[in-house]
Structure 1
Amino acid sequence: MEFTKYSSTLLCSIMLSAFLHHSVYGQNSEENEYGSWFVLCGTTKIHKDWSVPAVGILKHNHMVDKYGFFFFRTGASYHISSASTVTGGMALLNSNSYLEQNDVVNTNQIWFYGEYTLKSKIHGQSISQRVRFENRRLIHTEDPKTNNRIRYRLQYVRPLYKDVYLKAFDEVFLNMEGTTFSQNRIFFGVGRQLTKNLKGDIGYFNRRFRNSSENMIRLGLTFQFDLTDNDLAGLPHTDINN
């Protein structure tokens, strides 16, 4: 009962924060338009203790228009227990920066990362925490700038009806050099178990920076496969996001 009360309070806090972000910072978004954020992610189990994560993200500054970036991440995950996992790997990012109306700069980045995820679950509700270290650097440029940062995400998932669930998370990004605050991400929406190995969710997504904010509709698909099982039975849900 105490856990349920705590979870409900946590969810209300996240949703209230999202509303405040939208109200206070939303006017800084370009023409107050909503962008789109598509995510395909999941894990493939290759051993009783090991799995391979994969995440692909396509972001548009306007709804399915004005390309923002494409991101792909992978690596290897070691499952310490059913509740905790450590992961390491790399990622690639291709992005456009719109300096002026007709001035678009395209850049590429390579990332190296390590993370730790801890999950807890009771009465069907789950809370997961994730801490990630990232080393990011520009490539194919004469000035290969690097950036090190730490991310912390708190996520809450609660069943609503049959295979439909409520999902919310808040993630803060902190730079290890220079200005500490990098950005904050908030999401809340609904999801559904589509098949044994696939689930989808959709909802409101906000990225807040020091002097601006982006409002988006986020659509995510999550897959789970087990190559150690002949019938490819689904894995227990593993929280995977960019």
Structure 2
Amino acid sequence: MRKIFLALALMHLGMVQAQDTGEDDWGAWYMYFGTNQIAEKLSIHSEAQFRYYETGGNFNQLLLRTGLNYHINSNAIATFGYAYINTDNTFEEFENEVNFKENRIFQQF
């Protein structure tokens, strides 16, 4: 029984060390959000987010969104728009790496 427990414990330790979650690394998000009024109740939403696994590089995600805002009142805005999202699902840089690209419509209130 002790040998089985020891073998399982050693296998578990090897698995824990083999996986890098990136939780202890510093990353960076650079963001821009804008609203440009085009009429009394309408405006254009613009947004760009650049996300990196490390402060100075190692690309993680690019998120670009634009949309049309309808101002219901001074405290409520409904938006309908388009988003382009380019995501790197790994923590490491690889040669010929293929990122996940997404095109979608969105709404928010």
The normalised TM-score by structure 2 is 0.73
Amino acid at match of 2:33: C
Alignment of 1:1-242 (within 5 A): 29-30=21-22, 32-98=24-90, 102=94, 104-116=97-109
1:111 aligned counterpart, secondary structure: strand
Q: Aligned partners of 1:36, 1:82: CA distance in 2, in Å?
A: 33
* Displacement after TM superposition at 1:90 (Å): 0.9
Amino acid at match of 2:25: E
1:80 aligned counterpart, secondary structure: strand
Q: Aligned partners of 1:31, 1:92: CA distance in 2, in Å?
A: 26
1:52 aligned counterpart, secondary structure: strand
Q: Which digits, 9 at most, give the CA deviation of each residue in 1:187-218, with x for residues without a partner?
A: xxxxxxxxxxxxxxxxxxxxxxxxxxxxxxxx
Q: Aligned partners of 1:66, 1:101: CA distance in 2, in Å?
A: 7
Paired-residue identity, %: 24
* Displacement after TM superposition at 1:29 (Å): 4.2
Structure 1, unpaired ranges of 5+: 1-27, 117-242
* Displacement after TM superposition at 1:71 (Å): 1.1
- Determine the structure 2 residue equivalent to 1:240: none
Q: Aligned partners of 2:30, 2:53: CA distance in 1, in Å?
A: 12
* Displacement after TM superposition at 1:32 (Å): 0.8
Structure 2, unpaired ranges of 5+: 1-19
Q: Aligned partners of 1:89, 1:31: CA distance in 2, in Å?
A: 32
- Pair member with larger Rg: 2
Is contact 1:40–1:56 with CA below 8 Å preserved after alignment?
yes
Is contact 1:99–1:105 with CA below 8 Å preserved after alignment?
no
Q: How many residues align structurally?
A: 89
Structure 1 outlier segments of 4+, above 4 Å? none
